[in-house]
Structure 1
Amino acid sequence: MKPSRFPCTLTPENYDTACDLAGSALLRRIPAASTILQITEGGAWKAFSTGVYLAADFENIIRYTGSAIRDGSVGDRVQEHVLSGRAAQWTRLMVVPLAADTEENLVRRIEGRIGAVLRPIDTKRLPHFGRPR
């Protein structure tokens, strides 16, 4: 039997770690968490077309990390999760906004790096986070 690992929580320190893992692609730090309604109805993330998002539950445990590269916004991707029912346990979300011109393979590698460090409990698989070949 594998030993259980402690889940990570969505803390300012873990958010800073996620931003650090984005490297030079980081647009800026947004250290405030948002709710689903603030994102989907209030447009809290409408200025960001590219980024990695972190979702936590009512106990502040990081449940999911994902990424988006959109003509619209990262919030549009969160809305897709809401409509599919995947976001039912998400209560707080944070975004690591990336420069809009960040290449897709780099966005996915950043998502993989962040997920490998923060270990979201509901993410089934993460993108490969190594250097391109």
Structure 2
Amino acid sequence: MKRFACTLTPENYDTACDLAGSALLRRIPAASTILQITEGGAWDAFPTGIYIAADFENVIRYTGSAIRDGSIGDRVQEHVLSGRAARWTRLMAVPLAADTEEDLVRRIEGRIGAVLRPIDTKRLPTFGGPRRPAQRRASR
């Protein structure tokens, strides 16, 4: 059974930002490439947020989150180094306030993923009530 695929459109990006609610830091309506993020530091100012990755056909492949001392770009770099980002050509970030609790970041990731339905994300965080607190991870 083939899943319906969402594309990375300005409307879907706006929806993702809306789902972040009051935790949203600001909107960045322009998509970035892997090189702009990992080499150019396009997202270096954002330690906390959700990222959305699309392929060359603009199909949303993956949504993920980052909560770290470094940046969302550091998390994307981990995907690149592991080979999981091979099909990603365009990425968009939903930056969140740096002090957003990890549990809320995960719930926002779950909400965004539930709406955008990324085809390569195997499991999304729940977007219900709070779970046990977790430690903030340092970037590698």
Task: Give the TM-score taking structure 1 as reference length.
Answer: 0.96
For residues 116-131 of structure 1, the aligned pairs below 5 Å read: 116-131=114-129
The one-letter code matched in structure 2 to 1:103 is E
Query: In structure 2, what is the Cα distance between the partners aligned to 1:5 and 1:90?
Result: 18
> Any unmatched runs of 5+ in structure 1?
none
Q: Which runs of 4+ in 1 moved over 3 A?
A: none
The 5-angstrom pairing of residues 1-133 of structure 1 reads 4-132=2-130
Letter in 1 for 2:73: G
- Name the Cα RMSD after superposition: 0.9
State percent identity of aligned pairs. 89
Normalised to the residue count of structure 2, the TM-score between the two structures is 0.91
2:136 match: none
Q: Structure 2, unaligned stretches of length 5 or more?
A: 132-140
